[in-house]
Amino acid sequence: MQFIDLQAQYQHLKNRIDTRIQTVLDHGKYILGPEVQEFEEQLSNYVGVKHTIGVANGTDALQLALMALGVSNGDAVFVPTFTFFASAEVVPLVGATAIFADINEKTYNICPVDLEAKIEKTLKEGSLVPKVIIAVDLFGLPADYAAIKRIADKYNLYVIEDAAQGFGGSINDKKAGSFGDIATTSFFPAKPLGCYGDGGAAFTNDDDLAEIIRSLRVHGKGKDKYDNVRIGLNSRLDTIQAAVLIEKLIEFPIELEARQVVANRYSGALEDKFYIPFLPQGFKSSWAQYTIQAKKGDRKEPMAQLKNAGIPSVVYYGTNMHEQTAFKKLGYKHYNLSQAETTAKSVFSLPMHPYMLEDQQMRIISSLNGT
């Protein structure tokens, strides 16, 4: 059994995707060809934002967002400690300092109360200037943007939404990718909307920020790429990947419904013995991961049971950012991240994809329930 079955999806969409790729091979505009703009326009419509900028991957999208906001030395960027490394890695990359915040026990997303405490503490210490909050839509569930926006307004901070996992999720029908001053996503193959290589995008309603990111992704271009008005990156979405994504985006709403069916089936069958994912009122998850904790005992036993039955399960994430060697080497100090530390020791994720068959899923459920 596969943790995420990308082959099943390809078989389903094969004719459409093959045709689209062939079109690119025929016209030969491999870099920023017409499919890139076509896909950017479709994404803007889907997410409900004014501008989408296709870039090379989700990590670059985050870095470009920080660069566009002018974040650099002496700035503090607040990031949840329980996330994928890329959400935090980009902060020292632009010369700024990451301040880690704790998470909510039930949503696994950044805790607004601790976020505000960490901002106050940073202000009191006085050596860094609070500049940006990077909120992450972990496992597909959008973060608490109402609370985050209140805090951002109070302290005059920018918000970046890391929707690499959340793409497809929503809050009261407002889509992930539309929160914050800039939002970013990833089209890494295993993400909810994935391509066949690396890819990513940045979203914004701000005309100036969009123009800066468009410039930054092509070496800080001005009139053209040989007129360079700022230091940038080489970070474009490939035309072939855009072609693949155009076809996948058409199928995406149907896949999201299929993911919801899988999630409902898991939740109904597992809630007695496990803490199942929690969705606040009005929130929808893209189910990038289906993540649970055992109510009794730790994760060792259920994960071993699954393994014996030939079923993969994965720990996302066992190491918080403040526990990562790379950040320890930077000499980062951290305070009171106890919820994230507890969570990292107990969560594990089950196979989740839109093409899972019911009898496959029943095997997983039986194994976990010990029946």
Ligand X SMILES: *Cc1c(COP(=O)(O)O)cnc(C)c1O
Smallest distance from the beta carbon of 188 to ligand X, in angstroms? 4
Tell me the residue number closest to ligand X, measured at CB.
58
Helix and strand numbers (H, E) in the chain are 12, 13
Among 9, 63, 81, 83, binds ligand X (CB under 6 A): 83
Neighbouring residues of 86: CB distance < 8 A, sequence distance ≥ 6 = 58, 59, 62, 164
Which tokens belong to 59? 């990590």
Binders in 251-290 for ligand X, by CB under 6 A:
none
Q: Select from 46-54, 56-64, 258-266, 337-345 the region that touches ligand X (CB under 6 A).
A: 56-64
Amino acid at 13: L
Among 133, 136, 151, 356, binds ligand X (CB under 6 A): 136
Size, binding site for ligand X by CB under 6 A: 15
Centre a 10 Å sphere on the Cβ of residue 3 and count the other Cβ atoms it contains: 15
User: Does 235 participate in binding ligand X (rule CB under 6 A)?
Assistant: no
CA dist 4 and 354 (Å) reads 9
Comparison of 180 and 302: residue with beta carbon closer to ligand X: 180
Comparison of 320 and 361: residue with beta carbon closer to ligand X: 320
User: Does 164 participate in binding ligand X (rule CB under 6 A)?
Assistant: yes
Q: Select from 9-17, 35-43, 54-62, 246-254 the region that touches ligand X (CB under 6 A).
A: 54-62
Smallest distance from the beta carbon of 200 to ligand X, in angstroms? 5
Neighbouring residues of 179: CB distance < 8 A, sequence distance ≥ 6 = 135, 142, 143, 145, 159, 161, 163, 171
CA dist 192 and 186 (Å) reads 9
User: Does 361 participate in binding ligand X (rule CB under 6 A)?
Assistant: no
Smallest distance from the beta carbon of 159 to ligand X, in angstroms? 15
User: Does 89 participate in binding ligand X (rule CB under 6 A)?
Assistant: no
User: Does 188 participate in binding ligand X (rule CB under 6 A)?
Assistant: yes
The per-residue b/e assignment along 85-122, b for 16 or more CB within 10 angstroms, e otherwise, is ebbbbbbeebebbbbbbbbbeebbbbbbebbbebbeeb
User: Does 178 participate in binding ligand X (rule CB under 6 A)?
Assistant: no
Among 84, 252, 266, 274, binds ligand X (CB under 6 A): 84
User: Does 165 participate in binding ligand X (rule CB under 6 A)?
Assistant: yes
Q: How far is CA 333 from the centre of its chain?
A: 25
Smallest distance from the beta carbon of 62 to ligand X, in angstroms? 6
Cβ atoms of 286 and 344 within 8 Å: the answer is: no
Among 52, 87, 122, 178, binds ligand X (CB under 6 A): 87
Comparison of 84 and 327: residue with beta carbon closer to ligand X: 84
Task: Tell how strand 51-55 and strand 200-204 pair up.
Answer: antiparallel
CA dist 213 and 215 (Å) reads 5
Among 77, 86, 340, 368, binds ligand X (CB under 6 A): 86
- Cite the beta strand spans of 96-165 per DSSP E: 97-101, 129-136, 158-162
User: Does 59 participate in binding ligand X (rule CB under 6 A)?
Assistant: yes
User: Does 200 participate in binding ligand X (rule CB under 6 A)?
Assistant: yes
Long-range (24+ apart) CB contacts under 8 A made by 302-308 are 302/274, 302/348, 302/368, 303/348, 305/367, 305/368, 305/370, 306/350, 306/364, 306/367, 306/368, 308/367
Among 58, 80, 112, 140, binds ligand X (CB under 6 A): 58
Q: Select from 9-17, 162-170, 248-256, 338-346 the region that touches ligand X (CB under 6 A).
A: 162-170
Q: Which positions lie near ligand X, rule CB under 6 A? A: 57-59, 83-84, 86-87, 136, 162, 164-165, 186, 188, 198, 200
